[in-house]
Structure 1
Amino acid sequence: MTSIDHVTLEVTDATAAGTFLTTAFGLDDGRIRVRAAGTPTTGFRGFTLSLVVPRPADVDALVDAAVAAGAATLKPAARSLWGYGGVVQAPDGTIWQLASAKKKDPGPATGRIDEIVLLLGVADVAASKRFYVDQGLAVARSFGSKYVEFASESGSVKLALYKRRGLAKVAGVSPDGTGSHRITIGGDAGAFTDPDGFAWATAAETASR
């Protein structure tokens, strides 16, 4: 199965960004990486990363830890149609959605992250879906031209597609933005750039940088 091994965030200060990932989210297993890059970018960079957790208490714990580590709150944690979640923006500019499918759960935080999901905001969901199927990704769920989720192997980063404007609304930011996405997706699909300018590289290429 074609899948994402890791995502590399391009940041101004790699040391600070790496410290944030570890301190706020405990992400030190290599699925989210950072490297220094100064490519120009403004506004919404066209993607978000989601941490899917078991309970609302886990969402609250991650939001609190992220803010304590320097993140800005874009949307406070709250119940929604889909569960419970909040949105923060890391000091490096990356937007993180923290979410649980459960709206109510009196249990304490588990400290567990069940899934990491990369959501790409695209101009044409149907066209991007066809493109990624041609690259070998298998569709797990699809809701017409609004949302597509691809199958992923256990322990890998899951890929999903959303309309750019809709994803920006979910994140609580303006959809406007120019310049680099400042992200490289590492996996076994090969090296290419998708219709919306998101760059992919082989896992070996990104590991060697």
Structure 2
Amino acid sequence: MASIDFVTLEVADPEAAARFYADAFGLDPSQVRLRASDAPTTGFRGFTLSLVVSQPGNVDALFRAALDAGATPLKPAAKSLWGYGGVVRAPDGTIWQIATSAKKDTGLAGREVDEIVLLLGVEDVKASRQFYVERGLTVGKSFGGKYVEFATGPGTVKLSLYKRRALAKVAGVPADGTGSHRLVISGTTGPFSDPDGFVWEAAAATG
């Protein structure tokens, strides 16, 4: 099954970014990596990363830790029809959603992350879906031209496609943006660039 092994965020200061992600989320560097880049970028970079957790208390714990580590709140953690979640922007500019589908806590709150999801904001969901299917990814869920979720193996970063403007709205930012996505995706497929300019590399070439 084609999948994402890890993503690499291109940041101005990798050491500072590494401290933030360790302090805020305790992320496993095998899934989210960092590399130095000064590529020009403005506004919305066209993607978000989501931390999916088991209960609202974990959302709150991660949200507070992110703010304490220097993140900017974009949407406060709150209840919604689908569950509970909030959005922050890391100091390096990456937008993170922290969310759970659970409505109530079932245990002590912690910062355990169950799943990392990369949501790509694309102009044409159906065309991008077909592009990825032709490169070996398997569709797990699909809602017409609005949203696609690809099936991935355990321990890998999940990939989803969303309309760019809709994703920006979810993130709480304007949809406009130019320049580099500041993101490189590494997996069992690639290398290539998708129709929206997201760059994939072969995992063996960067791991």
Q: Do both proteins adopt the same fold according to a TM-score greater than 0.5, normalized to the shorter chain?
A: yes
Name the CA distance, whole Å, in 1 between partners of 2:87 and 2:205.
Answer: 31
What residue ranges of structure 2 are gaps of 5+ in the alignment?
none
Name the CA distance, whole Å, in 1 between partners of 2:23 and 2:204.
Answer: 27
- Quote the residue 1:32 is aligned against: 32
Name the CA distance, whole Å, in 1 between partners of 2:26 and 2:81.
Answer: 28
- Quote the residue 2:174 is aligned against: 174
Deviations 1:112-132 (A, max 9, x none): 211100000000000000000
| Paired residue secondary structure (2:136) | coil
CA RMSD of the aligned region, Å? 0.9
Name the CA distance, whole Å, in 1 between partners of 2:186 and 2:20.
Answer: 21
Name the CA distance, whole Å, in 2 between partners of 1:95 and 1:85.
Answer: 13
The answer as to 2:201 corresponding to 1:201 is yes
The total of aligned residue pairs comes to 207
TM-score calculated relative to the size of structure 2: 0.98
Q: Are the aligned partners of 2:25 and 2:111 in contact in 1 as well (CA < 8 Å)?
A: no
Deviations 1:66-103 (A, max 9, x none): 00000000000001111100000000000000000112
- Quote the residue 1:69 is aligned against: 69
What residue ranges of structure 1 are gaps of 5+ in the alignment?
none
- Quote the residue 1:55 is aligned against: 55
One-letter amino acid of the counterpart of residue 108, structure 2: P
Matches within 5 A, 1:65-144: 65-105=65-105, 107-144=107-144
- Quote the residue 1:191 is aligned against: 191
Q: Which runs of 4+ in 1 moved over 3 A?
A: none
Name the CA distance, whole Å, in 1 between partners of 2:54 and 2:181.
Answer: 30
Per-residue deviation at 1:111? 3.0
Per-residue deviation at 1:106? 5.3
Deviations 1:138-183 (A, max 9, x none): 0000011110000011000000000000000000000000000010
Name the CA distance, whole Å, in 2 between partners of 1:132 and 1:92.
Answer: 28
Name the CA distance, whole Å, in 2 between partners of 1:122 and 1:103.
Answer: 30
- Quote the residue 1:149 is aligned against: 149
Name the CA distance, whole Å, in 2 between partners of 1:5 and 1:189.
Answer: 10
One-letter amino acid of the counterpart of residue 36, structure 2: A
Aligned-pair identity in percent equals 66
Per-residue deviation at 1:52? 0.2
Deviations 1:3-46 (A, max 9, x none): 00000000000001111111100013410000000100000000
| Paired residue secondary structure (1:26) | coil
TM-score calculated relative to the size of structure 1: 0.97
- Quote the residue 2:41 is aligned against: 41
Name the CA distance, whole Å, in 2 between partners of 1:181 and 1:64.
Answer: 26
